[in-house]
Amino acid sequence: MFPTQEILDRAAKVLIGNYARQPVVMVRGHGSDLYDGDGRHYIDLFAGFGGAILGHCHPAMIDAAGAQMRRLWHVGNTFHNEPQVELAERLNRHAFAGQAFFCHSGLEANEAACKLARLRGQQFSPKRWKIISLAHSFHGRSLAMISATGNPAIQQGFEPMVPGFIHVEAGSIEALQSAVDDETAGILMEPIQGEGGVLEHSPQYVQQVRQLCDERGLALIFDEVWTGCGRTGRWFGYQWFAADRGAVEPDMMTLGKSLGGGLPVGALYAKPQIAALLTPGKHGCTLGGNAICMAVAKTIFDVIDRDRLTDRAAQLGQHAIERLRSESSIGDKVRQVRGSGLMLGVELNEPPEKFIERALANGIVVNLTAQKVVRLAPALTIGADQWDRGLDALVRTIAGE
Protein backbone atom coordinates (compact mmCIF):
# COMPACT_ATOMS: atom_id res chain seq x y z
CA MET A 1 0.00 0.00 0.00
CA PHE A 2 1.29 3.47 -0.85
CA PRO A 3 2.32 5.47 2.27
CA THR A 4 0.23 8.60 1.60
CA GLN A 5 -0.02 9.76 5.21
CA GLU A 6 3.66 9.10 5.81
CA ILE A 7 4.59 11.32 2.86
CA LEU A 8 2.19 14.05 4.02
CA ASP A 9 3.78 13.94 7.48
CA ARG A 10 7.28 14.09 6.02
CA ALA A 11 6.29 16.97 3.74
CA ALA A 12 4.94 18.97 6.69
CA LYS A 13 8.38 18.81 8.31
CA VAL A 14 10.56 19.73 5.32
CA LEU A 15 8.47 21.78 2.83
CA ILE A 16 7.54 25.43 3.26
CA GLY A 17 3.77 25.79 3.44
CA ASN A 18 3.40 28.49 0.80
CA TYR A 19 1.04 26.42 -1.34
CA ALA A 20 -2.55 25.52 -0.49
CA ARG A 21 -1.85 21.87 -1.20
CA GLN A 22 -4.53 19.23 -0.96
CA PRO A 23 -3.71 16.15 1.17
CA VAL A 24 -3.23 14.09 -1.98
CA VAL A 25 -0.02 12.55 -3.33
CA MET A 26 -0.06 12.18 -7.10
CA VAL A 27 2.10 9.28 -8.24
CA ARG A 28 1.30 8.56 -11.88
CA GLY A 29 -0.13 10.25 -14.95
CA HIS A 30 -0.82 9.49 -18.58
CA GLY A 31 -2.51 11.91 -20.95
CA SER A 32 -5.27 13.55 -18.91
CA ASP A 33 -5.45 10.70 -16.39
CA LEU A 34 -3.94 11.17 -12.94
CA TYR A 35 -3.63 8.62 -10.12
CA ASP A 36 -2.89 9.22 -6.48
CA GLY A 37 -1.10 7.00 -4.02
CA ASP A 38 -4.34 5.48 -2.80
CA GLY A 39 -5.24 4.32 -6.30
CA ARG A 40 -7.88 6.96 -7.00
CA HIS A 41 -8.25 8.13 -10.59
CA TYR A 42 -8.81 11.74 -11.65
CA ILE A 43 -9.48 13.46 -14.97
CA ASP A 44 -7.02 16.33 -15.08
CA LEU A 45 -8.88 19.44 -16.23
CA PHE A 46 -6.19 21.89 -15.17
CA ALA A 47 -2.93 20.32 -16.42
CA GLY A 48 -0.65 21.76 -13.74
CA PHE A 49 -1.75 25.39 -14.11
CA GLY A 50 -1.92 24.83 -17.87
CA GLY A 51 1.70 23.72 -18.09
CA ALA A 52 1.18 20.13 -19.21
CA ILE A 53 -0.14 21.25 -22.59
CA LEU A 54 0.25 17.76 -24.13
CA GLY A 55 -0.78 15.95 -20.96
CA HIS A 56 1.27 13.64 -18.78
CA CYS A 57 4.11 11.53 -20.21
CA HIS A 58 3.48 12.27 -23.87
CA PRO A 59 5.62 9.80 -25.86
CA ALA A 60 7.01 12.45 -28.23
CA MET A 61 8.21 14.52 -25.27
CA ILE A 62 9.76 11.47 -23.61
CA ASP A 63 11.56 10.54 -26.82
CA ALA A 64 12.82 14.11 -27.34
CA ALA A 65 14.10 14.38 -23.75
CA GLY A 66 15.76 10.96 -23.86
CA ALA A 67 17.50 11.60 -27.16
CA GLN A 68 18.81 14.97 -26.00
CA MET A 69 19.93 13.59 -22.62
CA ARG A 70 22.16 11.12 -24.41
CA ARG A 71 23.62 13.88 -26.57
CA LEU A 72 24.08 17.05 -24.49
CA TRP A 73 22.65 18.31 -21.18
CA HIS A 74 23.89 21.79 -20.47
CA VAL A 75 26.80 23.96 -21.54
CA GLY A 76 25.74 27.49 -20.61
CA ASN A 77 24.93 30.42 -22.84
CA THR A 78 28.50 31.33 -23.71
CA PHE A 79 28.00 28.66 -26.40
CA HIS A 80 25.25 27.93 -28.90
CA ASN A 81 23.10 24.83 -28.86
CA GLU A 82 20.90 23.81 -31.77
CA PRO A 83 17.65 23.10 -29.84
CA GLN A 84 17.53 26.78 -28.75
CA VAL A 85 17.74 27.87 -32.37
CA GLU A 86 15.11 25.34 -33.42
CA LEU A 87 12.63 26.53 -30.80
CA ALA A 88 13.19 30.18 -31.71
CA GLU A 89 12.63 29.27 -35.37
CA ARG A 90 9.29 27.74 -34.43
CA LEU A 91 8.30 30.93 -32.64
CA ASN A 92 9.12 32.83 -35.83
CA ARG A 93 7.04 30.40 -37.83
CA HIS A 94 3.90 30.73 -35.71
CA ALA A 95 4.17 34.29 -34.32
CA PHE A 96 5.70 37.48 -35.70
CA ALA A 97 9.31 37.92 -36.83
CA GLY A 98 11.37 38.20 -33.66
CA GLN A 99 14.23 37.00 -31.49
CA ALA A 100 14.07 34.95 -28.31
CA PHE A 101 15.65 34.98 -24.86
CA PHE A 102 15.04 31.74 -22.93
CA CYS A 103 14.72 31.44 -19.17
CA HIS A 104 12.97 29.24 -16.60
CA SER A 105 9.51 30.74 -16.19
CA GLY A 106 6.97 33.29 -17.27
CA LEU A 107 7.87 35.41 -14.27
CA GLU A 108 11.46 35.72 -15.45
CA ALA A 109 10.28 36.43 -18.98
CA ASN A 110 8.13 39.31 -17.68
CA GLU A 111 11.08 40.69 -15.71
CA ALA A 112 13.20 40.59 -18.86
CA ALA A 113 10.48 42.32 -20.88
CA CYS A 114 10.19 45.17 -18.40
CA LYS A 115 13.96 45.60 -18.36
CA LEU A 116 14.00 45.68 -22.15
CA ALA A 117 11.20 48.26 -22.19
CA ARG A 118 13.28 50.45 -19.89
CA LEU A 119 16.35 50.03 -22.09
CA ARG A 120 14.26 51.19 -25.02
CA GLY A 121 12.98 54.08 -22.93
CA GLN A 122 16.52 55.28 -22.23
CA GLN A 123 16.70 56.41 -25.86
CA PHE A 124 14.13 59.13 -25.27
CA SER A 125 14.38 62.44 -23.49
CA PRO A 126 13.21 62.55 -20.79
CA LYS A 127 14.10 58.93 -20.09
CA ARG A 128 11.16 56.54 -19.97
CA TRP A 129 10.97 53.90 -17.26
CA LYS A 130 7.37 53.45 -16.11
CA ILE A 131 5.24 50.44 -17.04
CA ILE A 132 1.44 50.58 -17.07
CA SER A 133 -0.49 47.38 -16.37
CA LEU A 134 -4.13 46.58 -15.76
CA ALA A 135 -6.31 45.97 -12.72
CA HIS A 136 -6.98 42.26 -12.07
CA SER A 137 -3.76 41.32 -13.86
CA PHE A 138 -1.15 38.83 -12.69
CA HIS A 139 2.45 38.86 -13.88
CA GLY A 140 4.37 36.84 -11.29
CA ARG A 141 5.52 36.89 -7.68
CA SER A 142 8.91 38.58 -7.64
CA LEU A 143 9.01 42.01 -5.99
CA ALA A 144 8.94 43.74 -9.36
CA MET A 145 6.20 41.58 -10.82
CA ILE A 146 3.88 41.80 -7.82
CA SER A 147 4.33 45.55 -8.26
CA ALA A 148 3.23 45.13 -11.88
CA THR A 149 0.34 42.89 -10.85
CA GLY A 150 -2.97 44.70 -10.51
CA ASN A 151 -4.22 42.84 -7.44
CA PRO A 152 -3.69 44.36 -3.96
CA ALA A 153 -4.12 40.95 -2.31
CA ILE A 154 -1.00 39.65 -4.08
CA GLN A 155 0.97 42.69 -2.89
CA GLN A 156 -0.14 42.59 0.74
CA GLY A 157 2.74 42.18 3.17
CA PHE A 158 5.44 43.07 0.67
CA GLU A 159 5.16 46.86 0.70
CA PRO A 160 6.60 49.20 -0.38
CA MET A 161 6.14 48.28 -4.01
CA VAL A 162 8.90 48.69 -6.58
CA PRO A 163 8.41 52.15 -8.13
CA GLY A 164 7.51 52.66 -11.75
CA PHE A 165 4.49 50.37 -12.05
CA ILE A 166 1.09 52.00 -12.57
CA HIS A 167 -2.31 50.30 -12.75
CA VAL A 168 -5.43 51.33 -14.62
CA GLU A 169 -8.83 49.72 -15.11
CA ALA A 170 -9.00 47.30 -18.01
CA GLY A 171 -11.25 48.15 -20.92
CA SER A 172 -10.98 51.94 -20.66
CA ILE A 173 -8.75 53.51 -23.29
CA GLU A 174 -9.39 56.86 -21.60
CA ALA A 175 -7.85 55.56 -18.37
CA LEU A 176 -4.77 54.44 -20.28
CA GLN A 177 -4.46 57.71 -22.13
CA SER A 178 -4.64 59.63 -18.85
CA ALA A 179 -1.98 57.43 -17.23
CA VAL A 180 0.60 57.85 -20.01
CA ASP A 181 3.15 60.60 -19.43
CA ASP A 182 6.60 61.51 -20.73
CA GLU A 183 8.20 58.85 -18.50
CA THR A 184 6.04 55.93 -19.66
CA ALA A 185 8.04 53.19 -21.36
CA GLY A 186 5.42 50.59 -22.10
CA ILE A 187 2.13 48.82 -21.45
CA LEU A 188 2.06 45.26 -20.08
CA MET A 189 -1.15 43.25 -20.48
CA GLU A 190 -2.50 39.71 -20.74
CA PRO A 191 -4.64 38.86 -23.79
CA ILE A 192 -6.88 37.03 -21.31
CA GLN A 193 -6.44 37.70 -17.60
CA GLY A 194 -5.98 34.23 -16.13
CA GLU A 195 -5.51 34.69 -12.39
CA GLY A 196 -7.98 37.57 -12.47
CA GLY A 197 -10.76 35.16 -13.41
CA VAL A 198 -10.36 34.41 -17.15
CA LEU A 199 -11.32 37.98 -18.07
CA GLU A 200 -11.37 38.84 -21.76
CA HIS A 201 -10.73 42.13 -23.56
CA SER A 202 -12.72 43.37 -26.53
CA PRO A 203 -10.84 43.43 -29.84
CA GLN A 204 -11.64 47.13 -30.13
CA TYR A 205 -9.94 47.88 -26.80
CA VAL A 206 -6.78 45.97 -27.75
CA GLN A 207 -6.66 47.71 -31.11
CA GLN A 208 -6.92 51.07 -29.30
CA VAL A 209 -4.07 50.07 -26.97
CA ARG A 210 -1.89 49.22 -29.97
CA GLN A 211 -2.74 52.55 -31.57
CA LEU A 212 -1.94 54.43 -28.36
CA CYS A 213 1.46 52.73 -28.15
CA ASP A 214 2.19 53.65 -31.75
CA GLU A 215 1.18 57.27 -31.23
CA ARG A 216 3.16 57.73 -28.00
CA GLY A 217 6.18 55.57 -28.84
CA LEU A 218 5.47 52.95 -26.15
CA ALA A 219 6.42 49.29 -26.12
CA LEU A 220 3.41 46.97 -26.06
CA ILE A 221 4.12 43.79 -24.09
CA PHE A 222 1.68 40.88 -24.15
CA ASP A 223 2.02 38.50 -21.22
CA GLU A 224 1.17 35.24 -23.01
CA VAL A 225 2.30 33.00 -20.16
CA TRP A 226 -1.22 31.56 -19.94
CA THR A 227 -2.45 32.13 -23.48
CA GLY A 228 0.52 30.90 -25.51
CA CYS A 229 1.16 27.66 -27.38
CA GLY A 230 -2.32 26.98 -28.73
CA ARG A 231 -4.30 27.01 -25.50
CA THR A 232 -6.87 29.58 -26.65
CA GLY A 233 -7.50 27.96 -30.02
CA ARG A 234 -4.85 29.98 -31.81
CA TRP A 235 -1.10 29.78 -31.42
CA PHE A 236 -0.99 32.96 -29.32
CA GLY A 237 -3.70 35.02 -27.67
CA TYR A 238 -2.85 38.21 -29.55
CA GLN A 239 -3.88 36.51 -32.79
CA TRP A 240 -7.54 36.81 -31.79
CA PHE A 241 -7.36 40.59 -32.02
CA ALA A 242 -7.73 41.34 -35.71
CA ALA A 243 -7.35 44.78 -37.25
CA ASP A 244 -7.55 46.06 -40.81
CA ARG A 245 -3.88 45.24 -41.35
CA GLY A 246 -4.08 41.82 -39.70
CA ALA A 247 -3.42 40.69 -36.14
CA VAL A 248 -2.64 43.28 -33.49
CA GLU A 249 0.98 42.40 -32.84
CA PRO A 250 2.84 43.25 -29.64
CA ASP A 251 6.40 44.54 -29.65
CA MET A 252 7.25 41.83 -27.15
CA MET A 253 5.49 38.80 -25.76
CA THR A 254 6.36 36.57 -22.84
CA LEU A 255 5.80 32.83 -22.61
CA GLY A 256 5.95 30.19 -19.91
CA LYS A 257 3.77 27.38 -18.51
CA SER A 258 2.87 25.33 -21.61
CA LEU A 259 6.03 26.33 -23.50
CA GLY A 260 7.91 23.57 -21.66
CA GLY A 261 4.99 21.18 -21.34
CA GLY A 262 5.69 20.90 -17.62
CA LEU A 263 9.43 21.54 -17.76
CA PRO A 264 10.74 24.93 -16.56
CA VAL A 265 10.84 26.99 -19.75
CA GLY A 266 10.06 30.67 -20.24
CA ALA A 267 10.76 33.06 -23.09
CA LEU A 268 10.91 36.73 -23.91
CA TYR A 269 10.20 37.11 -27.61
CA ALA A 270 10.75 40.57 -29.10
CA LYS A 271 10.84 42.27 -32.45
CA PRO A 272 14.45 42.46 -33.68
CA GLN A 273 14.92 46.24 -33.41
CA ILE A 274 13.95 46.09 -29.72
CA ALA A 275 15.68 42.79 -28.98
CA ALA A 276 18.95 44.33 -30.24
CA LEU A 277 19.06 46.51 -27.11
CA LEU A 278 19.58 43.49 -24.87
CA THR A 279 23.35 43.38 -25.43
CA PRO A 280 25.84 41.15 -23.56
CA GLY A 281 25.81 41.82 -19.83
CA LYS A 282 22.35 43.39 -19.77
CA HIS A 283 20.49 40.21 -18.83
CA GLY A 284 21.02 36.49 -18.48
CA CYS A 285 19.85 33.17 -17.06
CA THR A 286 22.28 30.43 -16.05
CA LEU A 287 20.14 27.46 -17.01
CA GLY A 288 17.89 29.26 -19.48
CA GLY A 289 17.79 27.54 -22.85
CA ASN A 290 18.96 24.23 -21.40
CA ALA A 291 19.33 21.81 -24.29
CA ILE A 292 16.98 19.17 -22.84
CA CYS A 293 14.22 21.68 -22.14
CA MET A 294 14.63 23.23 -25.58
CA ALA A 295 14.45 19.86 -27.33
CA VAL A 296 11.20 19.07 -25.53
CA ALA A 297 9.71 22.54 -26.14
CA LYS A 298 10.34 22.50 -29.88
CA THR A 299 8.82 19.01 -30.01
CA ILE A 300 5.69 20.37 -28.33
CA PHE A 301 5.35 22.86 -31.17
CA ASP A 302 5.76 20.07 -33.72
CA VAL A 303 3.07 17.92 -32.09
CA ILE A 304 0.61 20.82 -31.82
CA ASP A 305 1.24 21.63 -35.47
CA ARG A 306 1.09 18.03 -36.72
CA ASP A 307 -2.09 17.14 -34.82
CA ARG A 308 -3.83 20.50 -35.41
CA LEU A 309 -4.35 20.87 -31.68
CA THR A 310 -5.09 24.60 -31.87
CA ASP A 311 -8.19 23.84 -33.95
CA ARG A 312 -9.07 21.04 -31.56
CA ALA A 313 -8.76 23.36 -28.56
CA ALA A 314 -11.15 25.82 -30.21
CA GLN A 315 -13.69 23.08 -30.92
CA LEU A 316 -13.55 21.47 -27.47
CA GLY A 317 -13.72 24.85 -25.78
CA GLN A 318 -16.77 25.95 -27.73
CA HIS A 319 -18.46 22.65 -26.96
CA ALA A 320 -17.84 23.16 -23.24
CA ILE A 321 -19.08 26.76 -23.25
CA GLU A 322 -22.30 25.80 -25.02
CA ARG A 323 -22.88 22.82 -22.76
CA LEU A 324 -22.21 24.60 -19.46
CA ARG A 325 -24.37 27.55 -20.46
CA SER A 326 -27.27 25.24 -21.24
CA GLU A 327 -27.10 23.01 -18.14
CA SER A 328 -30.41 23.64 -16.35
CA SER A 329 -29.26 21.86 -13.19
CA ILE A 330 -26.68 24.58 -12.48
CA GLY A 331 -28.37 27.55 -14.12
CA ASP A 332 -29.10 29.22 -10.78
CA LYS A 333 -25.51 28.79 -9.60
CA VAL A 334 -23.54 30.00 -12.66
CA ARG A 335 -23.21 33.69 -13.45
CA GLN A 336 -21.13 33.40 -16.62
CA VAL A 337 -19.10 30.94 -18.68
CA ARG A 338 -16.28 32.60 -20.63
CA GLY A 339 -12.89 32.09 -22.18
CA SER A 340 -11.38 30.88 -25.40
CA GLY A 341 -10.25 27.46 -26.51
CA LEU A 342 -9.22 25.36 -23.54
CA MET A 343 -8.73 28.34 -21.23
CA LEU A 344 -12.16 28.63 -19.63
CA GLY A 345 -13.67 30.25 -16.57
CA VAL A 346 -16.99 29.36 -14.95
CA GLU A 347 -17.97 32.23 -12.67
CA LEU A 348 -20.32 31.17 -9.88
CA ASN A 349 -22.86 33.47 -8.26
CA GLU A 350 -21.42 32.85 -4.79
CA PRO A 351 -18.03 31.68 -3.51
CA PRO A 352 -18.44 27.92 -3.05
CA GLU A 353 -17.44 25.98 0.06
CA LYS A 354 -14.73 23.31 -0.22
CA PHE A 355 -15.11 23.27 -3.98
CA ILE A 356 -11.71 21.75 -4.78
CA GLU A 357 -12.21 18.99 -2.24
CA ARG A 358 -15.62 18.16 -3.72
CA ALA A 359 -14.19 18.22 -7.24
CA LEU A 360 -11.50 15.74 -6.23
CA ALA A 361 -14.14 13.53 -4.64
CA ASN A 362 -15.95 13.62 -8.00
CA GLY A 363 -12.75 12.58 -9.77
CA ILE A 364 -11.64 15.83 -11.43
CA VAL A 365 -8.77 18.27 -10.96
CA VAL A 366 -9.81 21.91 -11.42
CA ASN A 367 -8.82 25.28 -9.95
CA LEU A 368 -10.66 28.09 -8.21
CA THR A 369 -9.49 31.69 -8.62
CA ALA A 370 -10.89 35.13 -7.79
CA GLN A 371 -12.91 33.39 -5.03
CA LYS A 372 -15.65 32.10 -7.31
CA VAL A 373 -14.27 31.41 -10.80
CA VAL A 374 -13.66 27.76 -11.66
CA ARG A 375 -10.78 27.54 -14.11
CA LEU A 376 -10.45 24.80 -16.70
CA ALA A 377 -7.21 24.36 -18.65
CA PRO A 378 -6.81 20.71 -19.66
CA ALA A 379 -4.22 19.31 -22.01
CA LEU A 380 -4.96 19.97 -25.67
CA THR A 381 -4.78 16.20 -26.17
CA ILE A 382 -7.71 15.37 -23.87
CA GLY A 383 -10.11 12.94 -25.52
CA ALA A 384 -13.56 14.22 -26.47
CA ASP A 385 -15.30 11.52 -24.41
CA GLN A 386 -12.99 12.17 -21.48
CA TRP A 387 -13.68 15.91 -21.74
CA ASP A 388 -17.42 15.20 -21.57
CA ARG A 389 -16.97 12.93 -18.54
CA GLY A 390 -14.98 15.66 -16.87
CA LEU A 391 -17.70 18.19 -17.63
CA ASP A 392 -20.27 15.76 -16.19
CA ALA A 393 -18.30 15.67 -12.96
CA LEU A 394 -17.91 19.46 -12.99
CA VAL A 395 -21.67 19.92 -13.31
CA ARG A 396 -22.22 17.56 -10.36
CA THR A 397 -19.68 19.48 -8.30
CA ILE A 398 -21.25 22.88 -9.09
CA ALA A 399 -24.68 21.42 -8.31
CA GLY A 400 -23.39 20.48 -4.85
CA GLU A 401 -23.22 16.73 -5.29
* Partners of 269 in beta bridges: 100, 253
DSSP state of 18: -
As to burial, measured by CB atoms within 10 angstroms (0-12 exposed, 13-18 middle, 19+ buried), residue 248 is buried
Q: Determine what percent of the chain is predicted with pLDDT higher than 70.
A: 99
Predicted confidence band at 242 (pLDDT cuts at 50, 70, 90)?
confident
Residue closest to 131 by CA, chosen among 189, 184, 206? 184
pLDDT over threshold 80, residue 140: yes
pLDDT at site 294: 98
Per the CB < 8 A criterion, the answer to whether 359 and 394 are in contact is yes
Neighbours of 387 (CB within 10 A): 21
pLDDT over threshold 90, residue 266: yes
Residue closest to 168 by CA, chosen among 205, 122, 216? 205
What does pTM read for this prediction? 0.97
Q: If you average pLDDT over every residue of the chain, what do you get? A: 97
pLDDT average, residue stretch 220-225: 98
pLDDT tens digits, 195-205: 999 999 999 99
Helices (H), 230-350: 272-275, 291-306, 309-326
pLDDT tens digits, 53-71: 999 999 999 999 999 999 9
pLDDT at site 1: 75
DSSP state of 235: S
pLDDT over threshold 90, residue 7: yes
pLDDT at site 245: 56
Residue closest to 277 by CA, chosen among 252, 295, 299? 252
pLDDT at site 264: 97
Q: For each of the domains in the chain, give its residue range(s) and CATH number, in order of start.
A: 4-58+308-399 (3.90.1150.10), 72-306 (3.40.640.10)
